[in-house]
Amino acid sequence: MAKKKKINLTIDDTPISVDEGTTIMRAAEKLGIDIPRLCYHPELSLAGSCRVCIVDVKGMGYFMTACSVAVWEGMEVQTNSPEIRQARRDIVELLLDNHPQDCQTCERDGRCELQNLAYSMGVRTRLFEGRRKEFPIEATSHSVVRNPEKCILCGRCVRVCAEIQGVYNLSQHGRGFNTVVGPAHLGNMDDSVCIQCGQCINACPTAALLEKPSTDAVWRALADPELHVVVQTAPSIRAAIGEGFDMPPGTPATGRMITALRRLGFDAVFDTNFGADLTIVEEAHEFLTRLKEGPLPMITSCSPGWISFMERFYPELIPHASTCRSPMSMLSVLSKTYYAEKLGLDASKIFTVAVMPCVAKKYEAARPEHADVLERPYTDAVLTTRELIWMIKCYGISLATLPEGEFDAPLGLSSGAGDIFGSTGGVMEATLRAASKLITGKPGYRVEFTEVRAVEGLRELYVAVGPQNIHVGVANGLQNAKTLLDKVVRGEEEFHVIEVMACPGGCIGGGGQPYPPPGVEILDPDLLRKRAEALYAIDHDKKLRESYDNPAISELYDTYLDEPGSAKAHKLLHTHYAPKLPRGIR
C-alpha cells in the first residue's frame, strides 16, 4: 500500500504531522486534546449537525467543525479561546432551550451526554427559555420507547439503524423546529420494520430512546409470597454488569452477581448458559439431520433481533433458521415444566425473570410462539443489564464487596461452551465443539476454534472437523450479516452453518448493555473486545468445556426429554417462524 502523504499543521500552537485525510478532531486526539462532540460517532458516517466541536482555523473567518474538516498543509488550529468556549456554550444552551427540565427524574440522569456536555461547557443558568417541543411518548413496541421531546436531532440513532444494522427504520421527518425522528410516517414502532435490537437506545445521547421498563413487574413478583420467582442471567451479563459499579470493562462478576440476585429475593438463580448448552445439543442434532436431508445452511436462531430481521427482510431464509428456541426461552420453558415437576410446584405460581443484554428479548418473551397452551408466556419478565444494575443499586447492594455465589441446580450448571454464547462466534465455536465430538466420536477432539471469533464483524472460512470440511459464516451487526445472507440467497456460496448476531460484537454489544463510561463510545471495538475476553477467560478456566459433558444436561435427557431431537424435546424446545409485515427493504 502506498504510504499516505503527511500533512503538517499546528493545533494550539503545537506542531503535528498526520496522514492526509485526517480530520481536525482525530489530529487533536493525537495531542491529547479532546474536542467536545455530540453528533459525532467514530463508527458512523459524519453528520456535522450539532456544531459542538467547532474550532478556530486561522484565516477562515468562521468556526469550523473539527469532526468533518480534513487537515491541510500549514493549517493553524485553535481549539480553545474565550470566543470558541462562548460559542460552544451558546450552541449547547440553544440545544437545552427546548429540552425538558426534568434531569432529576430522567432515566439518563448522570449518564446523559447532553447533561455532561452542559456541565463541561460551563452552562450554569438557562438563559434562553424557548418554545418546548410537545410530543407524546410512543411505547407501542415491546422493547423500544420513543420520547421525541428529549430528542436533540443528532441523528445517531438514524445512522446506527441504517449503517450498522441495515434496517433503516428511523428517519428525520418534517423540518426545522418541527423535525421529529421516527419510523416511516411517524407511525408506531410496533407497526414498523424495527427489529427491536435497541442499538438506537445505546446510540442516543439523551433519553429520547429507552428500553421499555420491566422493573416494576419484577419488584411486584419478588414481593408476592405466592410466587416462586426464578431468574436466569445471559452469558454476557457477567462480563458487563461490573461496569455499572465502576469496575473496568472486562471484569467478570459472575459470583457477585449471583449473590446480588439472591439478596434481591429471587428464589432460584439459574444460568442461561444451561439453556445455551441445551441449545447446542439440540442444534448439533438438528445440524447432523440437515447435513443429510437439508436445507443447508443452518442459521442460528438465538438472536431475537436477527429473527425479526429475517422475518421482515429475508423471509426466504426462514427454512434455514434453526428451529431451536433461544437459550433464554428453553430455560424458561424448563423452569415451568421440568423444574416445576421436579419440585412439585404449580407452574402458574412460577414467575420467570430473564436478565438479558438485549431489549429484543422483551419482544421474544412476548411472542406467541413462546407461550404455553393457555397463552401464558414462558418468560414473564425480561430485564436488561442496565435495569438489573439499577435494581441492585436501588436495593442498596454494593456489588463490588459481595461474596461469590453459585448458580442453583439443576438449571444453573453449564459448560464453557455456554459462556462464549455471549460473544460473536461463540455459538459457532460451541457448535463446532459439539459437532467435532459427534462427527469424530472422540470427546475433546478439538475444543478451541479461535478462527471463528469474528471480532471484525464478518468471517467466512472452512473448518476441518475429522473427515468433514465445514464451511462456516459468522456475522455480527446486521449490515455485515446482509453481505453473507445475500451470497446465500443468490446461491453464490454454499455454507453449512451461519451464525448471525444482530448486535455488533454479539450479545456483549447488545442494546441492553451498560452505557459506556464517559470517554468511551458504544461500539468501541476495544470495549467489546474486553467484554469478550472476560467470557473466553471464564470458558478457558472451566473444567467443563463441552455442552455434551454437562451432567445436568445428561440428567435432563435421561429423566425427562429422552434424547436430543425426541418428540418431547421438539414440543418443548423448538419453534417455527413466519414472514412478517411490513416488509423491509434490504
Partner 1 sequence: MSTTPDVHQQVEAQSREILGEDIVAYIEQCHADPEPSGKLIAVLHRVQAKFGYLAPAHLDAVSQLLRVPAAKVSGVASFYHFFRLTPRGRHVINLCLGTACYVKGADQIAQKLRDELGITFGETSPDGMFSLEATRCLGTCGLAPVMIVDADVHAEVTPDQVPLILERYIREARKERA
Q: Select the residue interacting with partner 1 from 9, 160, 164, 193 (CB under 8 A).
A: 193
- Tell me the three cell numbers of residue 115: 447533561
Which entry of 141, 322, 335, 423 is annotated as an active-site residue? Answer: 322
Closer of 489 and 520 to partner 1 (Cβ)? 489
Residue 294: CB minimum distance to partner 1, A: 10
Closer of 189 and 365 to partner 1 (Cβ)? 189
- Tell me the three cell numbers of residue 327: 437459550
Closer of 98 and 171 to partner 1 (Cβ)? 171
Closer of 486 and 563 to partner 1 (Cβ)? 486
Residue 315: CB minimum distance to partner 1, A: 5
| Continuous segment of H or E residues that includes residue 24 | helix 24-30
Site for partner 1 in 433-492 (CB under 8 A): 489, 491
Residue type, 15: P
- Tell me the three cell numbers of residue 492: 453464490
Closer of 182 and 506 to partner 1 (Cβ)? 182
What does each C-alpha distance from 490 to 179, 314, 317, 470, 483 come to in angstroms? 39, 12, 12, 20, 11
Catalytic-residue membership of 322: yes
Catalytic-residue membership of 361: yes
Closer of 46 and 318 to partner 1 (Cβ)? 318
Which entry of 112, 302, 324, 503 is annotated as an active-site residue? Answer: 302
- Cβ pair 350, 478 in contact under 8 A: no
- Cβ pair 299, 314 in contact under 8 A: no
Residue 570: CB minimum distance to partner 1, A: 21
Catalytic-residue membership of 302: yes
- Cβ pair 371, 329 in contact under 8 A: no
Instruction: Say how far apart CA 95 and CA 238 lie, in whole Å.
Output: 37
Cα angle: 347, vertex 286, 557; to 5 degrees = 45
- Tell me the three cell numbers of residue 290: 440437515
- Cβ pair 59, 46 in contact under 8 A: no
Instruction: Say how far apart CA 231 and CA 332 lie, in whole Å.
Output: 9
Residue 182: CB minimum distance to partner 1, A: 8
Catalytic-residue membership of 369: yes
Which entry of 93, 369, 460, 555 is annotated as an active-site residue? Answer: 369
- Cβ pair 121, 154 in contact under 8 A: no
Closer of 505 and 584 to partner 1 (Cβ)? 584
Which entry of 113, 243, 286, 387 is annotated as an active-site residue? Answer: 286
C-alpha gyration radius of the chain = 25
| Continuous segment of H or E residues that includes residue 18 | strand 14-19
Instruction: Say how far apart CA 371 and CA 379 lie, in whole Å.
Output: 8
Which entry of 138, 311, 364, 546 is annotated as an active-site residue? Answer: 364
| Continuous segment of H or E residues that includes residue 276 | helix 272-293
Residue 323: CB minimum distance to partner 1, A: 15
Closer of 168 and 560 to partner 1 (Cβ)? 168
74 binds partner 1 (CB under 8 A): no
Site for partner 1 in 491-510 (CB under 8 A): 491
Closer of 120 and 479 to partner 1 (Cβ)? 479
Residue located via cell numbers 445455551: 276
**Which residues lie across from 209 on neighbouring strands?**
146
582 binds partner 1 (CB under 8 A): yes
304-333 mask for partner 1 (x: CB under 8 A)? -----------xx-xx--------------
- Using CA atoms of 29, 32, 38, 42 in order, give the dihedral in degrees to the nearest 10: 30
- Cβ pair 268, 413 in contact under 8 A: no
Question: What are the E-state strand segments in 276-315?
Answer: 298-299
> Judged by CB under 8 A, which stretch of 60-68, 248-256, 516-524, 573-581 contacts partner 1?
573-581
Instruction: Say how far apart CA 221 and CA 573 lie, in whole Å.
Output: 26
Which entry of 138, 149, 283, 521 is annotated as an active-site residue? Answer: 283
Reference 113, options 26, 172, 66, 50; nearest CA is: 50
Residue-level length of the chain: 586
Site for partner 1 in 278-297 (CB under 8 A): 295
Site for partner 1 in 124-183 (CB under 8 A): 162, 168-175, 182-183
List helix spans (H) across 408-524. Answer: 416-419, 426-440, 478-489
Q: Give how many residues touch partner 1 by CB under 8 A.
A: 31
Which entry of 507, 521, 530, 547 is annotated as an active-site residue? Answer: 507
Reference 427, options 462, 475, 461; nearest CA is: 475
Which entry of 336, 361, 437, 530 is annotated as an active-site residue? Answer: 361
229-268 mask for partner 1 (x: CB under 8 A)? ----------------------------------------
- Cβ pair 114, 99 in contact under 8 A: yes
Residue 583: CB minimum distance to partner 1, A: 5
Residue 171: CB minimum distance to partner 1, A: 3
Residue 577: CB minimum distance to partner 1, A: 10
186 binds partner 1 (CB under 8 A): yes
Residues that bind partner 1 (CB under 8 A): 162, 168-175, 182-187, 192-193, 295, 315-316, 318-319, 489, 491, 578-579, 581-585
Catalytically active residues are 283, 286, 302, 322, 361, 364, 369, 507
